Amino acid sequence: MPLVTLSEILKPANAQGYAVGSYDVFNLEMASAVIQAAEENRSPVILAYVEVFDTLFPMEAFAAALRDYAQKASVPVCIHLDHATNLAVIERALKAGFTGIMIDASDKAFEENIRITSQVVELSHALGISVEAELGHVAGNEGMYTDDSSVYTEVSQAREFMDRTGVDALAVSVGTVHGVYKSTPVLSFDRCAEIKAETDGLPLVLHGGSGLSDEDFKKIIASGINKVNIFTDLTLAAIRTLREADLTGKTPYFGLSMQVKDAIRLAAIAKMSQFGCIGMAP
């Protein structure tokens, strides 16, 4: 199946009320595990790459491998650049064949966020590539939940941001954080639903989705979320497998790698079940 853009994956999700997982992957075991999970469960899927991964697996080489996986897959696959803050990195990703770009200028003032996002939209749309942006701010990898409404996405700004930038999807801050939660998050389902209505049904994105309950996912997706970013749950599955593995040398590295891949595959399947995207691939 040919590669698809972010918009092509999110349009049916938006219309039918489910979410698609966007899985940050930094090696081929992770990528192939997620693809296998998607194919086994007939789910569309997004493979995401973060700039920091460049130090482990250079973007251009990894993108070539991901594109090959995607083109041979039997389900729709989008190759997405996650949390990009640097225009030079975005230009590299576009040349490398990514089919989705996330520009994250959420730490900037509203007008500066609009200016930067608009520039990326113009550059990407000229090549037929979809763009995700972030409004409000999802806290970083410290995993510390804080009920600080000052970082939440302002409903009153969402429509203006969409109209002035032309983004294809919007990541919103409604109470999640990146990383492992150290206290129970309180999601603002009403705020999410209000943003959805204010933006006339624009696909919304949830970052910091690892560790949420089934009920939380069900309610936040019903409130308008169509894409959920997942990274921590995959890495925790891998680490747990290695901790439980035979590290005496009796199991070869290849065998350990296969065990890790299978653990990641199962973790991805669990997320697909939560998101309601199983069986949604054409």
How far out from the chain centre does Cα 96 lie?
Answer: 19
Distance CA 100, CA 111 (A): 23
Given the residues 24, 54, 68, 82, select the one marked as catalytic: 82
Residue 115: Cβ within 10 Å count:
14
54 in active site: no
Assign 3-state DSSP to the chain and report helix, strand, coil percentages, each to 5: 50, 15, 35
List the structure tokens of 166.
């032309």
DSSP letter string, 189-230? HHHHHHHHHHTTS--EEE---TT--HHHHHHHHHTTEEEEEE
Residue 116: closest CA among 128, 131, 94, 126: 131
Quick one: which of 99, 103, 51, 92 has its CA closest to 77? 99
Cα gap 146→163, rounded to integer Å: 30
Annotated active-site positions, please? Answer: 82
